[in-house]
Amino acid sequence: MGLPKIGLLYLACCLAGYVEGQVPDNVDPCVSYREFDGTHRSSTYQSAPGDTLLCDNAILTGWYRFNAREGGMMSENCVPPYHCGTQVPIWMSGTHPTTEEIVDREVCMNYGVPGDCCSAKMLIKVKKCTNIGGPYYVYFLHPTTGCSMAYCMDTRNAAGPDQTSSRHVEKYGSLCYQLSSSQKDHHNSGQDCAAMGGGLALIKNTDTQSAVAGHIIRNNNEVSHWIGVKAPVSPFLYDDWEAVQDPQLWAPNQPPTFCVFMDSSANYKFTVGRCSEQHPFVCQSDIAGCQQDVCLNGGTCTSCFGETYKMCNCLPGYTGDRCETNIDECASSPCLNGGTCSDGDNSYTCQCVTGYDGNNCEHDIDLCDPNPCPFDWICFENVGGGLHCDIPGTRHEMDQTAFVCSASSCPVGLKCHSVTGGPGIYSCVP
């Protein structure tokens, strides 16, 4: 299959349009973006014969985020052809920004030319986001010029090598809970949660309160957090019980409105504060099925926060974020007495050496019962396996000379071995 060509005229055209302001100034790209999903975009995934290759020629120009559970960052290193689920992988030439400013970066297209990982380039923009769900990166991208070409994601994520962007997301009951990484007033906290596909957490019983406080907040930052509770709007009354009606009577920002946070100084019980105070906050989201199933080996896919986070319930015998790892039931060495273990799906089998049986080769078989020796010769079990056949001292010489040891002289799995000491004496050994 021939590789697609890209023209310099196209690049000049697209970059010119890009420079003239295709990024709206009034849109926060950390909140308004589209998402790339799927394990095939990983730089470590190599397309197999018959795969439908990814092609980004139909994407809309705009901001994109790589799914955090799959990696979360565009690749910064050369990606070989036929990786990332495509023929021509696109990777970023340069490093990701460490601050929140929008920066320009070049992306390279690898056509497979020997010694050239960057056969053509385009300009993109990158921004680091540290709001709720962060840190993560978003990218201002253009559609590709042909097929099959696609943007590649790395196996790392913006939270660092030992963390994930979803480190503050926990499942409890039928809901997901997520902590913010910033402090905001109650109103803006709720807006951030809504932008993620959820809302401020509704803590309606002590069990939920204990779970959110004990398993989520305390495991992360141990500070107070806004939740989805606020005081009703009630009028102020004169002494004659008439309501104060004229708003011009009030000083600026008065009267205050009150909202509720889980107070770290009160064992995360509810405390009322001014809604204008700055606190971290807890968001919640319903758990739903996945529009795009990313689970392998029969795992069940569920998602929350608008499919930003996906979870897999693996079938027995599999593990990993995507149920990609077959659990090795032989890792614990269950087969005894020299047995050989063969791993299966949520199972294992033991091939026992001669002289042992049982699921784990735990039973020692008496190889001399029944006696396998010819002419009722005496059978002795050998230390370490096998048996030994010996002629009784009272037997006639003809018994010794009439028998020749052969493969059929021994039980299955043992070999005949003549022993010095007489023409009819032999052993059966493994």
Query: Taking the domains of the chain in order of start, what are their residue ranges?
Result: 8-151, 169-246+254-286, 288-326, 328-365, 367-429
Q: Which residues pair with 304 in a beta bridge?
A: 309
CB atoms within 10 A of CB 287: 16
CB count within 10 Å of CB 365 equals 14
Q: Do domains 169-246+254-286 and 288-326 have the same CATH topology?
A: no
* Amino acid identity at 292: Q
CATH 1.25.40.20 is held by the domain 169-246+254-286: no
- Region 116-137: mean pLDDT is 83
- Least confident range from 183-197, 316-330, 377-391: namely 377-391
DSSP for 345-356, written as a single string: TTEEEEEPPTTE
> What per-residue confidence (pLDDT) applies to 141?
94
Predicted pLDDT of residue 9: 30
Q: Residue 5: is its pLDDT beyond 70?
A: no
Supply the pLDDT for residue 272: 93
pLDDT at 391: 73
Q: Is the pLDDT of residue 13 over 60?
A: no
Among 367, 377, 357, 356, residue whose Cα is nearest residue 425 = 377
Banded pLDDT at 268 (limits 50, 70, 90): very high
What distance in Å separates the CA atoms of residue 385 and residue 268, rounded to the nearest whole number?
66
User: Measured on CA atoms in the order 236, 242, 243, 247, is the torsion positive or negative?
Assistant: negative
Provide the pLDDT for residue 12.
33
H or E segment and range at residue 324: none
Indicate if the pLDDT at residue 17 is higher than 50: no
Span 293-332, pLDDT tens digits: 888 889 999 988 877 788 888 999 888 878 888 889 998 8
Q: How far apart are CA 53 and CA 59, in angstroms?
A: 15
pLDDT of 350 strictly over 70: yes
Residue 142: is its pLDDT beyond 80?
yes
Q: How many helices (H) and strands (E) does the chain have?
A: 4, 27
Q: Residue 326: its pLDDT value, please?
A: 87
Q: Residue 37: what pLDDT?
A: 66
Predicted pLDDT of residue 163: 36
Q: What is the pLDDT of residue 26?
A: 63
Give the span between the Cα atoms of 254 and 29, in whole angstroms. 34
Closest by Cα among 36, 54, 55 to 45: 54
CATH number attached to the domain at 288-326: 2.10.25.10
Question: Which tens digits make up the pLDDT trace of 18-66?
Answer: 333 344 556 678 878 888 866 678 777 777 777 788 999 989 999 998 8
Q: How sure is the predictor about 95, in pLDDT bands with cuts at 50, 70 and 90?
A: confident
CA-nearest of 381, 392, 390, 391 to 429 is: 381
pLDDT at 424: 56
Q: How far apart are CA 33 and CA 334, in angstroms?
A: 51
Q: What is the mean pLDDT of residues 190-205?
A: 89
The DSSP annotation for 79-145 comes to --TTBTTSSEEEEEES---SSSS-EEEEEEE---BTTBS-SEEEEEEEEEE-STT-SEEEEEE---S
Pick from 168, 169, 152: nearest CA to 38: 152
pLDDT at 7 over 60: no
Distance from C-alpha of 381 to C-alpha of 261, rounded to nearest angstrom: 77
What pLDDT is attached to residue 252? 87
Phi, psi of 373 (to 5 degrees): -75, 145
pLDDT score, position 39: 61
Q: How far is 267 from 213, CA to CA, in rounded Å?
A: 8
Q: Which of 404, 193, 160 is nearest to 286 (CA)?
A: 193
Quick one: pLDDT at residue 133?
A: 58
200-209 residues labelled b (16+ CB within 10 A) or e (exposed) = bbebeeeebb
Whole-number pLDDT of residue 361: 93
- Average pLDDT of the chain is 80
Pick the CATH number of 328-365 from 3.40.190.10, 3.30.450.40, 2.40.50.140, 2.10.25.10: 2.10.25.10
> Comparing 115-124, 355-364, 396-405, which segment has the lowest mean pLDDT?
396-405
Instruction: Output the pLDDT for position 314.
Output: 92
Judging by DSSP bridges, how do beta strands 415-418 and 387-390 pair with one another?
Answer: unpaired
156-159 contacts: CB < 8 A, separation 24 or more? Answer: 156/71, 156/72, 156/73, 157/68, 157/71, 157/72, 157/73, 158/72, 158/73, 158/96, 158/128, 158/134, 159/72, 159/135
Does position 132 have pLDDT exceeding 70, yes or no? Answer: no
The highest-confidence range among 46-60, 102-116, 206-220, 399-413, by mean pLDDT, is: 102-116
Report CA Rg, the chain: 35
Average pLDDT over residues 269-291: 92
Nearest CA to 273 among 263, 259, 262, 255? Answer: 259
Burial of 25 (0-12, 13-18, 19+ CB in 10 A): exposed
Query: The pTM is what?
Result: 0.47
pLDDT > 70: what percent of the chain? 82
Task: Tell me the HSE value of 406 on the side-chain side, using a 13 A CA sphere.
Answer: 5
Of 77, 83, 97, 9, the C-alpha closest to 39 is 83
Residue with tokens 């600026």: 252
